Amino acid sequence: MATVNDPLQKESTDEQAGQEKPHQRYVLEETGFNEVPKKYRKFYRRFGGEGDSLAPNEVQCPVCMVIVRSSRNLRQGDRVYCMPCFSRLVVVMVNDRLEAHPVY
């Protein structure tokens, strides 16, 4: 069977190459964080101290110091919600690191 070279398909793949990669998905497990309803516990965890590093799907809330987790990797401009302190946060890039800044 012969392959057909479709110029429109080639252009669409070239356009996709210039875009960001799609969000990576993460499977979240419950971490024992009991300050929110059971349904939402997998989206939060406590900060582990000095040796704790954040994954690409985590940011630390600057208000209550809880780690907010997402089922997808976070990017600059994403919005997250910290249920323990009721803060709305926006993810920003600071010194090649993702941080959350409160909106209000």
Query: Residue 89: beta bridge partners?
Result: 80, 102
3-state secondary structure of 39: helix
> In 3-state terms, what secondary structure has residue 56?
coil
DSSP state letters, 9-27: HHHHHHHHHHSPPPPPB--
Would you write out the chain's pLDDT as a tens digit for each of its 104 residues? Answer: 555 555 555 554 444 445 667 778 888 888 888 899 999 999 999 988 888 888 899 999 999 999 999 999 999 999 999 999 999 999 999 998 899 999 97
